[in-house]
Amino acid sequence: MERNISNFDEYKKEYAKSISNPEQFWEEKAANFTWKKKWDKVLSWDFTKPEIKWFEGGELNITENCLDRHLEKRGEQTAIKWIANKPNEQSRNLSYKELHSEVCEFANVLKNNGAKKGDRICLYMPMVPELAIAVLACARIGAIHSVVFAGFSAKSLSDRINDATCNILITADGGFRGAKITPLKDISDEAMKSTPSIEKCIVLERTKSRISMQSGRDIWWKEEIKKVNADCPIEIMDAEDPLFILYTSGSTGKPKGIQHSTAGYMIYTEYSFRNVFQYNEGDIYWCTADIGWITGHSYIVYGPLLAGATTMMFEGVPSYPNAGRFWKIVEENKVNIFYTAPTAIRALEAKGLDFVKPYDLSSLKVLGTVGEPINEDAWHWYDKEIGNGNCPIVDTWWQTETGGIMISNLAGVTPSKPTFATLPLPGIQPCLVDEKGEEIKGNSVEGRLCMKFPWPSMARTIYGDHKRFKETYFSTFKNKYFTGDGALRDENGMYRITGRVDDVLIVSGHNLGTAEIESAMDEHENVCETAIVGFPHPIKGNGVYAYVICHNTPKNEDALKKEINDLVTKNVGPIAKADKIQFVSGLPKTRSGKIMRRILRKIAEGDTQNLGDTSTLLDPAVVEEIKSSAQ
Ligand code: PRX
């Protein structure tokens, strides 16, 4: 394993070098991996197109770097330590050798079923080792994986399959989640009614639920595995060949298929994993995310395996069988590094210390958070009650689009500050800009967060829609990647992320597009128009607040609210359900017809006094009505 940055001075030197000579800096990191052919050029880029290429001409396979490369030295070491949803179910440890062989076997299953390099394969699976195996098997044969979080609805699944024209769907009969079973195959069946590109559906047996199998299309994982051996040479990939697509919400209803490429993603996830978490040989690392999100891709699967780490995977939820589950798992597995989301911390804090105190958490060395700003109270609780005051907390800011952690302290190496993501990682060049796109220099300033230079793991495009990629990220501010977040930089140059400045809502750490929820609600026959905004929520960070205009005055408001939320569950997924629905007769609009969400946000926050400038409103009376009936 490469040596990690070990003190603040070293960080400063490393950072300075990464800025003065980025190509040399990343070339040195790249040299630690196994390549089939060395690259011709480290970097070429043009943000106006945008076109970004790292290690052009290089050839490799990421799974050779995650698996084969480690076999000699750490073949017997646990690669994946899997913890089942049910506390009494046997956990599973897969050594690097075992993981390698299971990945090769399943890669052969994919090949037997017609999968080829460049195909898109959709994964809709529970958090079981086979999900990681399937991800890596795709990468081994050069197929592009598109993992869809198993909480998404049939409609979301079919939209994503169709957008990428996937030819294979990998799913399970069902998934265990707390006391519930998610009927993954039934949902897949519903989705596959409208996905003409799917030729094969490979089904893993997990819950032994009764399901139907369509002959010719649906096949069992366990039957297919019997037909293959574990010999599967790697597919040789170009450095810039796509590795995966992962959908994230945007400001229009259609989700964006964020596409990542191979070599840059590999180098950056490994480097950021080791340095942010200060991973050392033998540490047990646990990220509680789901592989359906970018955090799971980069910091359960790829980053840790590339670094030869032991990575844990948990099938269940933090509240099952009770709110002590995380801490019990930490104790039983002597977890050293623990990475979770602020929403989970707040939910567990709310349950009280009786669920924490019984457990020995002394194995913990490093704590981390991701996905949304962490509030001060939750930060201190995490620090004191979980870290016992002596575990550095890394507050890691990044995005699906960035592929890896961008702004974060390095555990115990660079300074931390509650609620601040702090400093950029080496190679990352953030800046703040004003509304006109002028860079705001100096410290103690606030603005919109942009990146002015490429980094290896940045997204290369939106699948099938490069124009939207350019418009969303590279057109708002000239020659800069715009993150969509606002941030402030304190007197020491440390960054604090203040939240989204666009129409994306972060609810329980999940990215939701307000437009996506609105169009789901608009499907109701009595719904005429909707506007979704966020409001502060003690556990979720943001709650979903819906303003709804009906065609006819509802006879039973509660029944209509339920029907509206059922549509959201069906079209988007239960995480997007509105916490509050307010029926209104009109929405505050400008003369040009744009909804003034700023006003709606204020009212949803309960602040009806400081609505700011309302002079551009077409009909100010609407605001008065909304204020008086606000919840
Ligand atoms: O608003 C920021 C917030 O989450 C957004 C990215 O969401 P997603 O693509 O789903 O990726 C989440 C996991 C990497 C960002 O634009 N966000 C993420 N991490 C933080 C954060 N906000 C504040 N602090 C963080 N540490």
Average pLDDT, the chain: 95
Q: Mind listing the pLDDT tens digit for each residue in 37-84?
A: 999 999 999 999 999 999 999 999 999 999 999 999 999 999 999 999
Annotated domain spans of the chain? 8-449, 504-629
State if residue 409 touches ligand 1 by the CB under 6 angstroms criterion.
no
Q: What is the pTM of this model?
A: 0.92
pLDDT tens for 313-327 read 999 999 999 999 999
- Cβ of 240 closer than 6 Å to ligand 1, yes or no, is no
- Our answer on whether the CB atom of 395 is closer than 6 Å to any ligand 1 atom is yes
Whether the CB-CB separation of 602 and 611 falls below 8 Å is answered with yes
> Of all helices (H) and strands (E), which one includes residue 44?
strand 41-46
**Over the stretch 218-265, which tens digit does the pLDDT of each residue have?**
999 999 999 999 999 999 999 999 999 999 987 666 889 999 999 999
Q: If you take atom 18 of ligand 1, which residue's CA is the nearest one?
A: 371
Reported as a pLDDT band with limits 50, 70 and 90, residue 590 is confident
Q: Give me the mean pLDDT over the 135-148 stretch.
A: 98
**411 falls in which pLDDT band (50, 70, 90)?**
very high
506 C-alpha vs ligand 1 centroid, how far in Å? 8
Give me the pLDDT at residue 597, please: 86
Residue from 400, 417, 482, 511 whose mutation best tests the ligand 1 pocket (most atoms within 8 A of CB):
511
Give the pLDDT confidence score for residue 618 in this predicted structure.
76
Burial class, 529, CB count within 10 angstroms (exposed 0-12 / middle 13-18 / buried 19+): middle
Q: Please spell the DSSP secondary structure of 401-420, one letter per residue.
A: GG-S--B---TTTS--BTTB
If one residue of 269, 370, 416, 512 were mutated to test the ligand 1 pocket, choosing by the most ligand atoms within 8 A of its CB, it would be 370
Residue closest to 432 by CA, chosen among 404, 408, 451: 451
Digit-coded pLDDT (tens) for 332-354: 999 999 999 999 999 999 999 99
With pLDDT > 90 as the criterion, what percentage of the chain qualifies?
87
At 453 the three-state DSSP class reads: coil
Residue 272 has pLDDT above 90, yes or no: yes
Pocket test for ligand 1, best of 260, 265, 291, 397 (most atoms within 8 A of CB): 397
Q: For the residues 262-276, what does the mean pLDDT come to?
A: 98
CA 368–ligand 1 middle distance (angstroms): 13
pLDDT for res 451? 98
Region 416-441: mean pLDDT is 96
- Check pocket membership of 269 for ligand 1, CB cut-off 6 A: no
Q: What is the mean pLDDT of residues 419-431?
A: 98
Which residue lies with its CA nearest to atom 24 of ligand 1? 373
Checking if the pLDDT of 579 tops 90, the result is yes
Helix and strand numbers, DSSP H then E, in the chain: 20, 31
Class of the CATH-defined domain 8-449: alpha beta
- Whether the per-residue pLDDT at 631 is higher than 80: the answer is no
Which is the CATH superfamily of the domain at 504-629?
ANL, C-terminal domain (3.30.300.30)
pLDDT at 471 over 90: yes
Give the Cα separation of 460 and 281 in Å (integer): 33
- Average pLDDT of the residues in 371-381: 92
Ligand 1 touching residue 472 (CB < 6 A): no
Confidence band for 594, pLDDT divided at 50, 70 and 90? confident
- pLDDT of res. 237: 98
- The beta strands (E) that lie in 276-390 are given as 284-287, 310-314, 337-340, 366-370
Instruction: Assess whether the region 8-449 and the region 504-629 belong to the same CATH fold.
Output: no
CB 120 within 8 A of CB 165: yes
The model's pLDDT over 509-564, given as tens digits with 9 standing for 90+, comes to: 888 988 889 989 999 999 988 999 999 999 999 999 999 999 899 999 999 999 99
Q: At residue 468, does pLDDT exceed 90? A: yes
Pocket lining: 484 vs ligand 1, CB cutoff 6 Å: yes
> Would you call 451 helix, strand, or coil by DSSP?
strand
pLDDT of res. 369 = 97
pLDDT classification of 116: cutoffs 50, 70, 90: very high
The protein residue with its alpha carbon nearest to ligand 1, atom 22, reads 372
pLDDT at position 609? 82
- The stretch 601-626 carries a mean pLDDT of 84
Write the burial class of residue 318 (CB in 10 Å: 0-12 exposed, 13-18 middle, 19+ buried): buried
pLDDT of 117: 98
Residue nearest (by alpha carbon) to ligand 1 atom 3: 372
Residue nearest to atom 13 of ligand 1 (CA): 371
- Does the structure show a pLDDT above 90 at 20? yes
Residue 489 contacts residue 397 (beta carbons within 8 Å): no
Residue owning the nearest CA to atom 21 of ligand 1: 372
Does residue 383 surpass a pLDDT of 80? yes
- Per residue in 103-113, pLDDT (tens digit) is 999 999 999 99
Quick check: 614 pLDDT over 80?
no
Share of residues in the chain with pLDDT > 70 (%): 99
